[in-house]
């Protein structure tokens, strides 16, 4: 066994990535405190060709030094927008007909493995603050809520890890991987 070289990985150039088909998924970052987490989400979004990221409230915006450490250039490839409030961002997405999903433990959340994206529908997954989760102001805009099953003593995952899990599951089901 040997590791593949960079040319053998056959990755897209930045220009090729910008014009490549994207997952019909927007990640909404609801007041994420850590720029390092935000950078990690950008890197995940690049890896799975997510359509875009919406940064809300206190969430850091490029070019933030700590974000750039973990994004490793993904802030140059993944489209993003900033809104001062999550409600404003979600209202805008609702107007566009986007199906909005909180990644949160609620009285109506479904287990991630039971979620099946509908072909032809665009989705937005809201990822919440590291301590408070998805904000109360965001929940009225949601069409559904997803919960990642957990079996330990902690009640949540790191937001960047959570993003990786839900985006992988969405990509797997959307692209029939």
Give the homologous superfamily in CATH for domain 20-174: SPOUT methyltransferase, trefoil knot domain (3.40.1280.10)
pLDDT recorded at residue 177: 56
Over range 46-61, report the average pLDDT. Answer: 98
- Per the DSSP assignment, residues forming a β-bridge with 83 are 56
Contact 174, 118 (CB under 8 A): no
Domain ranges of the chain: 20-174
Over range 113-135, report the average pLDDT. Answer: 97
Q: Could you read off the pLDDT of 135-161 as tens digits, one per residue?
A: 999 999 999 999 999 999 998 999 999
pLDDT recorded at residue 87: 98
For 79-134, the DSSP string reads EEEEES-HHHHHHHHHHTTPEEEEES--TT-EEGGG--PPTT--EEEEE-BTTTBS
């Amino acid at each position: 066994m040997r590791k593949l070289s960079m040319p053998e990985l056959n990755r897209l150039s930045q220009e090729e990535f910008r014009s490549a088909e994207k997952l019909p998924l927007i990640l909404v970052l609801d007041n994420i405190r850590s720029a390092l987490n935000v950078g990690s989400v950008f890197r995940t979004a690049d890896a799975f060709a997510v359509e875009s990221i919406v940064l809300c409230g206190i969430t850091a915006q490029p070019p933030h030094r700590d974000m750039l450490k973990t994004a490793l250039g993904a802030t140059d490839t993944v489209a993003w927008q900033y809104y001062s409030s999550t409600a404003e961002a979600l209202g805008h997405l609702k107007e566009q007909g986007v199906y909005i999903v909180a990644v949160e433990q609620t009285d109506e959340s479904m287990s991630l493995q039971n979620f099946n994206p509908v072909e032809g529908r665009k989705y937005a997954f809201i990822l919440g603050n590291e301590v408070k989760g998805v904000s109360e102001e965001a929940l009225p805009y949601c069409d559904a809520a997803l919960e990642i099953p957990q079996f330990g003593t902690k009640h949540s995952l790191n937001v960047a890890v959570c993003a990786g899990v839900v985006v992988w599951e969405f990509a797997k089901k959307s692209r029939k991987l």
